[in-house]
Chain A
Amino acid sequence: MIKRNFRELSVAVALGLLLAFLAVAAPAFYQPQPLLSLLAREAPALVVACGMALVIISRQIDISVGSQFAVCGVSSGLLVAAHWPVALVFPLAILMGAALGAVNGLLVAGLRLPSIVVTLATMVTWREGLRWLRQGQFVNLPDGGQWFGMAQTTGQITLVVAAVLLLVLLAWGMKNLAVGRQVYAVGSDAEAARLAGIRPPLVTMGTFVFIGALAGLAAMMNLAQSPQVDPKSGMGLELKVIAAVVVGGVAISGGRGNLWGVFAGFLLLACISPALTHLHIQAYWEKAIQGGIILLAVVADGLRSRRSNRTGGGAP
């Protein structure tokens, strides 16, 4: 058990050490209200990270999520500003995200194009389209719609619980549902999966639609937290979630990893910035530390796969 999940456990231990250190060195980090705000701020990205985990496990990548997030956020914002009810805009945002994901899916699974190039193209296209449309102008939302009409604390708790619940359900589903196992199978060896009766293009299509839908959901979760939508929102989101997934022990070459590791990896990276603020360390170090963690994770994976290649093991 420990040996099999060593990679995930080591990230969790690193996170635990950081949190313990903060408890001693900067106890103010644990004030309930600011901590809840911090978690709520990170909840949308966690949702996208869950989707990214699935995409990478299936041996693809999607770098257009940040742009999908922005397109869904701005479009939903415009609808909300036009006084459409949130109960209607909410599913629409998810549908729109799924549609954007389907574009990626069709190009990758249908035309067998490499996902990094396809999603690079859609990333640039959606982002530039948005720039052309909004020229950097914020969308101002009507008063009173924040937190979907809930009180602030209730709203924040709802967002955090929703994100974690999604992660738990996915973690369970990936392990226990046939469709979850298919994602692993396709990511490990698409040809073998095909021979076993799985249709890899369908699985690929599904993961892209799914991450798109999650980007739409995340955009709504972000929209709830502020009365304005910045069309630049979501820039760099793809890097943030890919980093979380990789640090969390998902193999970039597909087929290996789980959502619990992603959770730990995500929290570890998300805590760095506020931790440095609380420790009164200059911001110059932030990116360097995050980069170092990613490098460490990649090197660990590299050493691991070399070892398992030699011994012939390596099943997830």
Chain B
Amino acid sequence: MNRFVPLLLMAGLLFAAGCSKAPETAAPAGPASTGGSGKKLTLGFMPKSKGNAYFISCKQGADEAAKELGVELLFDGPTDPDPAKQNEIVENWITQGVDAIAVACENKDGISTALRKAKQKGIKIVTFDSDAATDAREFFVNQATPEGIGYALMDEAARLTGEAGDFAIITASLTAANMNEWRKHIDARLAAKYPKMKLVTVRPCDDMKDKAQSEATALLSAYPNLKLIMAICSPAVPGAAEAVKQAGKTGTVKVIGLGLPNENRRYVKEGVTQSVILWKTVDLGYLTIQATYAVAKGELKAGATTFKAGRLGAMEIQGDNILLGKPFVFNKDNIDQFDF
């Protein structure tokens, strides 16, 4: 047994080495920047990871806005969610002399130092999807407040169950900060508005579809009066739906959750999943670039309370958060209009 201890240590070292792996080729192969002094503005747009379907659809909207505004858009990010790689890209963009950077931050504290440095060089910073430290950027484009998400989920659950009956929640883990924040608002809404509804249990699925399917299978037999399953992490929505379908409870037990249309399309069409809640990611990318452009131009300054964002019209600003608005509900009628 003793021989395992040094092995485990070695394993740990190897793992640590794997985590801080050497930088891969970093610089985007994009066209050379105009140095910020030319007429055409250059904006950097960085997702948490650049191949992720969610961010690719954000990029669609960003491209659309860039075209409308006539700016050059640099799109780069880590292949994996990797905070160190994000810093590196920011450093590269500083060297290239971009005019503004829009970034979805993987690690709030990690990236803020790099962003402050960029700010000192006169580069304007806007964050979207996930924020940096408030002093490291001008604005945060907030896709949905925890309150907005919690209320939208609870209201949708109430609407589908006729405001009465038992429901259960499947979450990623019992410790995930963002999900606990949403749950707080779900609980508050439930207590305030729906006295005939009861949250019977909360089960974790480790953010995996397979586990969510198993958990939902057990829920369905353990709680025969269950009216609805609310899945608040994206892999759990199709997982719960498959379990409901296999249990022959399609329609009797409703399924709703936060997720992506492509992962849930078949269940929504079959009537297993009633509603998938998210924001319009294309609009998030669009609004982000509109705002980044306006900040870079000096048209959008701290203290503003509204902002006119192209085709989206006037958007509300709370403090330094530009709000995308209410979450969007994907259902049978509209899901085919979205592909991400």
The docked-state distance in angstroms from the alpha carbon of A140 to that of B215 is 21
A34 touches B218 (CB 8 A): yes
Task: Name A128's contact: one of B4, B80, B218 (CB within 8 Å).
Answer: B80
Which residues on the A side are within 8 Å of B242 (C-beta)?
Answer: 225-228
B217 touches A135 (CB 8 A): no
Task: Name B222's contact: one of A37, A124, A135, A278 (CB within 8 Å).
Answer: A278
- Contacts A140-B262, A233-B208, A283-B174: A252 and B1 contacting too (C-beta < 8 A)? yes
Which residues on the A side are within 8 Å of B4 (C-beta)?
Answer: 116, 252
The docked-state distance in angstroms from the alpha carbon of A285 to that of B14 is 32
Task: Name A38's contact: one of B79, B202, B217 (CB within 8 Å).
Answer: B217
B263 touches A34 (CB 8 A): no
User: Which secondary structure dominates where chain B touches chain A?
Assistant: helix
Closest approach, in angstroms, between the C-beta of B11 and any C-beta of chain A? Answer: 5
Across the interface, name the chain B residue whose C-beta is closest to A115. Answer: B7
Which residues on the A side are within 8 Å of B112 (C-beta)?
Answer: none
Task: Name A228's contact: one of B18, B203, B222, B263 (CB within 8 Å).
Answer: B263
Give the segment of A25-33, A205-213, A241-249 that binds chain B: A25-33
Task: Name B221's contact: one of A29, A120, A226, A230 (CB within 8 Å).
Answer: A29
| B32-69 interface code vs A (CB 8 A; 1 in, 0 out) | 00000000000000000101110000000000000000
List A residues 185-232 near B (Cβ within 8 Å).
222, 225-228, 230, 232
B203 touches A283 (CB 8 A): yes
Chain A residues engaging chain B, CB cutoff 8 angstroms? 26, 28-29, 31, 33-35, 37-38, 41-42, 114, 116-117, 120-121, 124, 128, 131-132, 135-138, 140, 143, 152, 222, 225-228, 230, 232-233, 235-236, 252-253, 273-274, 277-278, 280, 282-284
- Offer 5 A-B interface pairs, CB within 8 angstroms, sorted by A: A26-B222, A34-B220, A135-B51, A228-B209, A283-B201
Chain B residues engaging chain A, CB cutoff 8 angstroms? 1, 4, 7-8, 10-11, 14-15, 18, 49, 51-53, 79-80, 174, 200-204, 206-210, 213-215, 217-222, 224, 235, 238-239, 242-243, 246-248, 262-263, 266
7 new A-B pairs (CB below 8 Å) besides A29-B222, A132-B51, A283-B204?
A37-B247, A135-B53, A138-B263, A226-B239, A233-B210, A274-B214, A274-B222
